[in-house]
Amino acid sequence: AIIRRLPAVETLGSTSIICSDKTGTMTKGEMTVRKIYVIDRTIDVTGSGYEPVGNFKVDGKAIDVDDELKLLLLASALCSDARLVKEEEKWTIRGDPTEGALIVAAAKAGIGEKELEVYPRINEIPFSSERKRMTTVHETPNERIVAYMKGAPEVVLGLCDKIVVNGEVRKLTREYEEKILNVNDTLAMQGLRNLAIAYREVDPKELENTLEENFEKGFTFLGIVGMMDPPRPEVKDAIDRCKQAGIKTVMITGDHKLTAVAVAKELGMFRDEDYVLTGVDLDRIDEEEFEKIVENVKVYARVSPEHKLKIVKALKKKGYIVAMTGDGVNDAPALKAADIGIAMGITGTEVAKEASDMVLADDNFATIVAAVEQGREIYENIKKYLVYLLRCNIAEIMMPLFASLSSLPLPFTAIQYLWINLVTDGLPALALGIDPADPDLMKRPPRDPREGVFTKRDTLLFLILTPLLMTALLLASFYVSLNIIGEELIEARTQIFTSMILMELLLALSCRSLRYPVWKVGIFKNKYLILAILSSIVMQLLILYVPYLHTAFDVTFPFLIDWAVAVVLSLSLFIAVEIMKIMFKAD
């Protein structure tokens, strides 16, 4: 995924609902024609992928391609812009996968590029998600002009008044309409994406003016092509992870309602009690009524880009942080309105990409979920970084304050303060910025974006108790060294100077998780943090044991007892913080 706007990273971690297109995002986008319905018979099509090899079967027996089937396949191929090409011994499609499936099916019947070239296209009314159909006009080899249409079966059927039955053109009766719609529902329940095919002869005078939608009437219905677009295997797992993370998933598609529900059930995102709405339903109900049910709708079918905008607005009013996918020009308003607009990198238009916050380089739903996880991880690491720096710096401020109130000398010199910040706030803090996430990161509900960076628990545990305990331990050691043991000031400073640095380095290790004891998430899992801590210790050893540096840093050679005190104080603080993490459980 490519993040176009940096604030989107934080918003990703708060995403509470993902509204995703079905085709190509939840499914592979590799269409294959599986069934063809011509009146009174359903034909199975064999073969897989884009290789133009396969048979046509009825009741398991191979059949020859008759004129009726050939006309349907010819019409579907002519009314398509995709091309079938062979590259490096592999057949691929250039263009839309749905149209590619139609081209491949025609090629299986011997209707290839050469056969299509003799039907030059002379006009067209392009497809749009609002119209749900496409019409092209061609000259035939016998000098006739014929228009071919493909589109949503219920839409195409409404523009037909005739039908082909056993090679004979008949009037389209109500009985035939009901039979066709029932077959369409049956195929859709099998998870097939259906397109109806129709044609009509055109009077040349009709082409004298620009084609308008009233041109698309009086067609002859040829049949239905059912295509299978298998779900991506990784999407089901991604949806399960969303459920564990408290993120709802919604499918949005232009396909038939039953097709969408069949695929949604296969992906495990639809139950019998869930709602499914069509574009017609969305047009019929008002905003207030829609807002009452929007949380229970898992599938939207036969929708247009305008409906996407309505869905986003309703969900945002309910307080959801909405991620919405889109690829077309008309999807731009919905992408802009969503909290996270996600454009498709492969099939998406430039307009959609410009309106988006994030671009999917592989058009894969699983990548959205991975990006949400990454967003959560980045936010958590920023929080770890801030907790580490703030609690150490608070302790550094409290040290001279309480020392002065206790009539003790200043515990550190100015150069020692600078050195502490250099050694502890540098490499270890940077290493926390790339720390691996807690194992249950995607098992927590989405973070409320209105809440502050630190919870009450974080403030009490990390920004109050830890600095106080740290200050108390160090000042107690400083007092004992000066007033009880009777050490020189430089010796006492060397001891707490080293203790302070060891404490902060162990606190960096403790910051691997702000919720759990560090041993639960793995002490040595962040190798960069371990290297940073070791590097800081080496730097500290240099100024302690290189005599030339003693004067500059106002230190002396530490005794073995000084190291023992430093280690005991550091471990005491480290263990105390880990115990407090258990006592003060995170919500």
Which amino acids are annotated catalytic?
21
Whose CA is closest to 359, among 371, 374, 373, 375?
A: 371
Adjacent-strand bridge partners of 84: 93
Whose CA is closest to 390, among 451, 461, 441, 448?
A: 461
Whose CA is closest to 33, among 128, 104, 113, 107?
A: 104
Cβ-defined contacts of 275-284 (< 8 Å, 24+) = 275/299, 276/300, 276/301, 277/301, 278/302, 278/303, 279/303, 279/304, 279/307, 282/307, 282/310, 282/311, 283/307
183-209: b or e for each residue (b if 16 or more CB lie within 10 Å)? bbebbbeebbbbbbbbbbebeeeeeee
> Is residue 224 within 8 Å of residue 195, measured between CB atoms?
yes
Task: Count the alpha carbons within 13 Å of 118 in the hemisphere toward its beta carbon.
Answer: 10
**HEC string of 510-554?**
HCCCCCCCHHHHCCCCCHHHHHHHHHHHHHHHHHHHCHHHHHHHC
Nearest 5 degrees, angle CA 124-CA 148-CA 208? 45
- Cβ neighbours around 221 below 10 Å, total: 29
